[in-house]
Amino acid sequence: MGFIMDGLDAEEYDRQYSDGELVKRIWHYFKPRRKLMLIVAFAIMADSLASTAIPITISWGVDEVERSGAGANLALPTLVLIGVGSIAWVFNLIRRWYSSRAIGDVVLSLREDAFNAVMDRDLSFYDRFPSGKIVSRVTSDTQAFTQVVDLTMNLLSQVLLIMLLIGYLFFVNVTLTLITLALAPLIIIVSLAFRNIARKTVTQSRRVAAEVNKHIQETISGIRVAKTFRQENAVYDEFSDVNHQSYKINLVTGYTFSSIFPILNLMAGFGTVALVYYGGLRAQAGTISAGEWFLFIQGIGLFWFPLTSIASFWSQFQLGLAAGERIFALLDAEPNVVQHDNVKPATIKGDITFENMTFAYKEGETVLDDFSLHIPAGQTMALVGHTGSGKSSITKLVARFYEFQSGKLLIDGQDIRSFHLEAYRKHIGFVTQTPFLFDGTVVDNIRYGKQEASTEEVFTVAQQVGGGDWIRTLPRGLHTEVGERGGNLSMGQRQLVALARVLLQNPSIFVLDEATASIDPLTETLIQEGLDVVMQNRTSIIIAHRLSTIRNADRIIVLDHGKIIEEGTHNQLLERGGHYADLYNTYFRHQSLDYIEQAGQLLA
Amino acid sequence: MQQSEFTVEDAYQYNQRGVFRWLWSHISRYRLLVIASVLFPVLDLGLYAMVPVFTGRAVDTVITGEGSLWRATLLVWAAMVGSGLSFWSTSLATETIAQHLAVDTREELYRSLLGKSQIFHDRQRVGDIMARATEDVFQLNLFVSPGLRFVTDTILGIVVPLLYIGLISPSLLLVPVIFVFTYIISVRRYASRLLPVIRNQRNQYGKMNSVLEESISGIEVVKASTQEWFERIRFGRNARWFRDLFVRQGQIEARYLPLLLFGIALGFTFLHSLWLWQQGVIGLAEIVAVMGLMNILKFPTFISIFSITLLQGGIAGAERILHIITADTDIDQNIEGHQAKIEGKLTFKDVTFHFGDGKPVLQSIDFTIEPGQTVAIVGQTGSGKSTLTQLVNRTYDVTEGSILVDGVDVRDWNIASLRSQIANIEQDIFLFSRSIRENIAFGMPDATTEMIEQAAQDAQAHNFISSFGEGYDTEIGDRGVMLSGGQRQRIALARAFLANPRILILDDSTSAIDSATEDEIQKAIGRIQEGRTTLLITHRLSQIRWADLIVVLDSGKVVGIGTHEDLLRTSPHYRRIFARYEIELPPLEELTPA
């Protein structure tokens, strides 16, 4: 079966919990709803007891009528029977009414916790694990967990019921009861054997579901590429493979689960038959009365059901436990970014110091090595250098998206690790390389960093960016729906929205990561003016690609393989004729007019 | 026949007119299993109902002392084992159908997704599609196993006991038959109350999943803006709505009436049978048998709570899946369409385009590009540049007018032939979470290693790829986050080099290249333009400057067209680009609009 499981390994943060640990974790969620759950368990039990009372009532009714002969009162047994049936119905009502609340609440809080855990992970987590699979854990696995809650309540009531029934059976006949109980261990052994198989197959099922999720998320997000390159067939074949893998695994799981109950039932059948025969012999011999024997046979049927239920529940339970294990692993995944203290800075000046820092995204691929840099508050600093020289890493470290391995990062002289993360980030405005917009209007998106801002504030800020000219080109102005990921807007428009977003947030430290790079020439000048407004009175770190930006910077840092190889102003560096001059010649010069005129020869 | 941009040749055709027909066309593919899953329950219940009858006989044997107890017990045992084995077989048969249904519908859904136009995909949220392909498909699974299985159990569980009761005494059928009628009426009312709630629940699940998917995809912005709390509230609200619908479902289920009706029917059946016994029509053993049979009737009554929820979950899920499959898509793959090697002549004839009912993105665009020409499209952000290029490979279709490739309307081209010769390097570069090699070879899965490396060389990507530990086999993280913008763009360029298209569309794509290899990339782009028609959207003045033709767009209209020199003299819009450079512009000539 190994080939079916290809590619379905555990994620790095997956772990195995002992049953004891799992129970403890689950109890944490059950505890606040334990009253509800107990009510439900009692209602289930009472419902079953009322159902149990039905054959007793019938036999009592028969006896009664037989005793009284022709003139018997038939209404009484009828009414009693109807009464018992109605009570059963009421208990069923109570049971369902409260169980949906108990289940709904447990799943909700588990889901919220899973979501919170996801939000708390730092970016290295997202680099490593496909988001489609994370999504799967938060919604799909929590959904599967529903079963655990439902089964727990059922199990509880079945255990109560079985104890009552055993008491009753002993009351009717001790020997026959002992024979019945002798069969129980066999059933327990079988169900325990099933448990292990069930857990294994179900874990595979959950994983393959995540795989399907991941595949769909990725291919649907990238469907445009598949279409332009006419590669639908390749994508489809790949999906087919995942889909069929899912089929095979789920079939195994399905067969396992649909076999448990029939097998246990067959075993119970043997037990019943043995009792019918043995009891019949005893009745014939006159050791027990025929009525007793009949009652016992009726009772035994009632006894098997909860017993086989408990046994099969235990396996079904695995379904939810496997899902639970995946959720708890997500909750327990160790964050890399760890804060030592919870200082909430009211204001930040924006003085940034890197001291002998070493940083790597992955072990063995060091990006910054023994890196030191001081950015005084209020300075506009431009980072230039080749791709992979560590520019983005510096900005991401300032935003505390990643943990560094050694050295120090001080903000206003304080260790960045000592801050309360959210309170600190409030002072940082970050415009990312590819601006990400959320489904909603432009206003919603600008307001994203400062939810309490009024619409007027949003309008003012939008006007400040690019002179507000761009708003005119939007179909419904600032109330235009941007679509998922901002798909209804052009890339330039998305960047303008992202800039307005930061401007509204009014941070002490402004980080701009290549953001102006793909804004068209006509908009660029306007953007530049907007940027000048944003950069006033705050520390700005710019990964610049525009000549105009770099010229305006107070200081330029030239990076190469994580090391500062030059620094100064644009003019100083140009005069020096070193690395920056080289970079300028190949990288920024093309934006100057001289270069544009020469480029014709290059392209020809 | 539905329009589609993509079809699979030997794909099984399902009936997509209506949820039930669709489900049936899926399920009926597995005829033998369907027959098995109907016959085995008949056998199961037939035998199961014999158990109390045989037990009654055993009682008789003991009371009367006639007949063999051993034989009576053996009959009970045989009935039990037979019923147990039939039950098991039913389980396996329905489970197999259920898993087939899940895999087949997901396949069908996925196929249809690949065939939908970009307009369709713009409207759909990825998280919701994911929910449909996993959780809604899972609902179909439950619909069959155990849903449909409960239905056969329910029907049999009603018919078989009634049959046996009728055999014992036809007049005893009175109460059970009345009960069955009231049961059907109240189950129908119950089901119609439940369905809307379940439908809402499925939709809410989709919404919750979309919110989650979006939060996770935009995590960098969420964190940078410290809006985790906002996302928490948003997700929490959606999760709570889902919970509320779940509770609502539970409350409807709680008030399930048939169980109460059953209790009453049981009482009256008892009354009736006691009365008949008083009359001497039936004996004691018959009462025991009849009441035992009535007890079997309890199962279908009780199980309907589950089965109706499962069935409606399946129906609601099927509706959601079918809704996507049958959603109109405006672009067809046009298999009979024109197929030829593209020369590269591109004509925009009075093209107007708008999304839905929005205001026009493009208006009356009219110009021609000769084969091999490089055309730069410039204009302010939002002026319609990207949309213009997306009309060429039919990512979208024009609203009015037409676009001709080599004189043939793009809508008359075979879409595979058209698209395979047009490469589009988009501004938002999408890389798959696979190796770099696979990403470059995306347009040409059978490319050799040499070809891939050559393409990477041409795109100036070979050096940085080689610097990675695993070279071309380096896996790119989720959505390619581990690469910088410049690196991503060069991989996209390599992809286009390998695909070797006749028409190339470069949409701002190389704008973020930030390395010192700028000159080489300029050369690479120069080289890739050779011998093919190129549409260029770029901020690089150097490339605009030397394009064969420059088209200036403003608010979806062409406001200038010509060469650099022409436009500097004639187009105020174009002059604005160069205004910030301290050079002397030629005097603006007043032209009569063409």
Q: What is the pLDDT of residues A371-391, one digit of tens each?
A: 999 999 999 999 988 767 888
**Residue B359 with chain A: CB contacts under 8 Å:** 475
Residue of B nearest to A241 (CA): B107
Q: Which domain holds residue B219?
A: 105-326
Q: Select the residue from B96, B244, B270 to test the A interface by mutation, using most A Cβ atoms within 10 A.
A: B270
Does B312 share its domain with B350?
no
Lowest mean pLDDT among A433-442, B93-102, B575-584: B575-584
Q: Is the bond leading into B146 cis (omega within 30 degrees of zero)?
A: yes
Spatial separation of the C-alpha atoms in residues A201 and A255, rounded to whole Å: 10
Residue A592: per-residue pLDDT: 63
Does B310 share its domain with B371?
no
Spatial separation of the C-alpha atoms in residues B464 and B481, rounded to whole Å: 16
How distant is the Cα of B438 from the closest Cα of chain A, in angstroms? 11
Residue B586: per-residue pLDDT: 66
Spatial separation of the C-alpha atoms in residues B262 and B269, rounded to whole Å: 10
Confidence of residue B514 (pLDDT cuts 50, 70, 90): very low
Confidence check: pLDDT of A279 > 60: yes
Partner-chain contact B243 A603, CB within 8 Å: no
Q: Select the residue from A47, A97, A134, A225 to test the B interface by mutation, using most B Cβ atoms within 10 A.
A: A225
Please give the structure tokens belonging to residue A370. 């023994």
Partner-chain contact A61 B519, CB within 8 Å: no
How distant is the Cα of B262 from the closest Cα of chain A, in angstroms? 8
Confidence check: pLDDT of B481 > 70: no
Q: Select the residue from A228, A252, A277, A603 to test the B interface by mutation, using most B Cβ atoms within 10 A.
A: A228
Q: What is the pLDDT of residues B114-157, one digit of tens each?
A: 888 877 887 788 889 999 999 999 999 999 988 888 888 888 88
**Residue B126 with chain A: CB contacts under 8 Å:** 217, 220-221, 484
Confidence check: pLDDT of B2 > 70: no
How distant is the Cα of B509 from the closest Cα of chain A, in angstroms? 8
Confidence of residue A91 (pLDDT cuts 50, 70, 90): very high
At position B529, the amino acid (one-letter code) is Q
Q: DSSP secondary-structure letter at A481?
A: B
Q: Is ipTM over 0.95?
A: no
Spatial separation of the C-alpha atoms in residues B182 and B162, rounded to whole Å: 15
* Residues 257-296 of chain A whose Cβ lies under 8 A from any Cβ of chain B: 258-259, 261-263, 265-266, 269-270, 272-273, 276-277, 280-281, 283-284, 290, 293-294
Residue A362: per-residue pLDDT: 77
Does B286 share its domain with B350?
no
Considering chain B, what percentage of its residues have pLDDT values greater than 70?
Answer: 91
Q: What is the pLDDT of residues B303-312, one digit of tens each?
A: 888 899 999 9
Spatial separation of the C-alpha atoms in residues A93 and B525, rounded to whole Å: 72
Residue A316: per-residue pLDDT: 76
**Residue A127 with chain B: CB contacts under 8 Å:** 477-478, 481-482
Q: How many CB pairs under 8 A join A and B?
A: 529
Q: Are B458 and B527 in contact (CB under 8 A)?
A: yes
How distant is the Cα of A124 from the closest Cα of chain B, in angstroms? 10
**Residue A243 with chain B: CB contacts under 8 Å:** 103, 106-107, 110
Residue A29: per-residue pLDDT: 92
CATH, residue B317: 1.20.1560.10
Partner-chain contact A258 B95, CB within 8 Å: yes
Partner-chain contact A65 B274, CB within 8 Å: yes
Check CB contact of A537 with chain B, cutoff 8 Å: no
Check CB contact of A335 with chain B, cutoff 8 Å: no
Considering chain A, what percentage of its residues have pLDDT values greater than 70?
Answer: 91
Check CB contact of A20 with chain B, cutoff 8 Å: no
How distant is the Cα of A481 from the closest Cα of chain B, in angstroms? 11
Q: What is the pLDDT of residues B147-171, one digit of tens each?
A: 888 888 888 888 888 988 998 889 8
Give the position of tokens 């639970």. A324
Check CB contact of A591 with chain B, cutoff 8 Å: yes
The segment with the largest mean pLDDT, out of B177-181, B536-540, B573-577, is: B177-181
Q: Select the residue from B421, B424, B514, B551 to test the A interface by mutation, using most A Cβ atoms within 10 A.
A: B514
Give the position of tokens 């089929």. A247
Partner-chain contact A229 B499, CB within 8 Å: yes
**Residue B503 with chain A: CB contacts under 8 Å:** none
Partner-chain contact A449 B227, CB within 8 Å: yes
Does B353 share its domain with B399?
yes
Of the partner residues A79, A224, A545, the one whose CB lies closest to the CB of residue B514: A545
Does B161 share its domain with B209?
yes
3-class state of residue A357 by DSSP: strand
How distant is the Cα of B571 from the closest Cα of chain A, in angstroms? 13
Check CB contact of A108 with chain B, cutoff 8 Å: yes
Does B429 share its domain with B514?
yes
Lowest mean pLDDT among A102-116, A443-457, B249-263, B523-537: B523-537
3-class state of residue B556 by DSSP: coil
Q: Containing H/E element for B388?
A: helix B385-390
Partner-chain contact B386 A490, CB within 8 Å: yes
Q: What is the pLDDT of residues A192-233, one digit of tens each?
A: 788 888 888 888 988 998 888 888 888 877 777 777 666 778
Does B320 share its domain with B289?
yes
Domain total in chain B: 2
Q: What's the CATH fold of domain A339-426+552-597?
A: Rossmann fold (3.40.50)
More confident residue, A164 or A306: A164
Confidence of residue B179 (pLDDT cuts 50, 70, 90): very high
Question: Residue range B226-234: average pLDDT?
Answer: 86
Q: What residues does each domain of chain A span? A: 13-332, 339-426+552-597
Partner-chain contact B224 A426, CB within 8 Å: no
Q: Select the residue from A471, A490, A512, A532 to test the B interface by mutation, using most B Cβ atoms within 10 A.
A: A490
What are the Cα distances from residue A102, in Å, to A31, A38, A105, B243, B306? 11, 10, 5, 10, 18
How distant is the Cα of A386 from the closest Cα of chain B, in angstroms? 4
Q: Select the residue from B124, B380, B428, B540 to test the A interface by mutation, using most A Cβ atoms within 10 A.
A: B380
CATH, residue B401: 3.40.50.300
Q: Does some domain include residue B49?
A: no
Give the position of tokens 């419904």. A476
Residue A589: per-residue pLDDT: 64
The segment with the largest mean pLDDT, out of A47-51, A422-426, B262-266, is: B262-266
Lowest mean pLDDT among A104-108, B63-67, B360-364: B63-67
Q: Does some domain include residue B370?
A: yes
Q: Does some domain include residue B113?
A: yes
Residue A596: per-residue pLDDT: 59
Partner-chain contact A490 B215, CB within 8 Å: no
Spatial separation of the C-alpha atoms in residues B563 and B393, rounded to whole Å: 25
Residue of B nearest to A232 (CA): B114
Q: Are B325 and B312 in contact (CB under 8 A)?
A: no
Q: Does some domain include residue B593?
A: no
Candidate CATH numbers 3.30.465.10, 1.20.1560.10, 3.40.50.300, 3.30.70.100; the one for domain A13-332: 1.20.1560.10
Residue A513: per-residue pLDDT: 76
Residue of B nearest to A116 (CA): B232
Q: Are A321 and A199 in contact (CB under 8 A)?
A: yes
Lowest mean pLDDT among A237-246, B470-479, B564-573: B470-479
Q: Containing H/E element for A369?
A: strand A366-375
Q: Does some domain include residue B567?
A: no
Please give the structure tokens belonging to residue B60. 């008789």
Spatial separation of the C-alpha atoms in residues B48 and B529, rounded to whole Å: 78
Check CB contact of A110 with chain B, cutoff 8 Å: no
3-class state of residue B52 by DSSP: helix
What are the Cα distances from residue B317, in Å, to A239, B15, B114, B131? 21, 17, 20, 10
**Residue A524 with chain B: CB contacts under 8 Å:** 539
- In degrees, to the nearest 5, what angle opens at C-alpha B37 toward C-alphas A192 and B183? 95
Confidence check: pLDDT of B510 > 60: no
**Residue A265 with chain B: CB contacts under 8 Å:** 84, 87
Does B247 share its domain with B372?
no
Q: Does some domain include residue B407?
A: yes
Spatial separation of the C-alpha atoms in residues A216 and A446, rounded to whole Å: 30
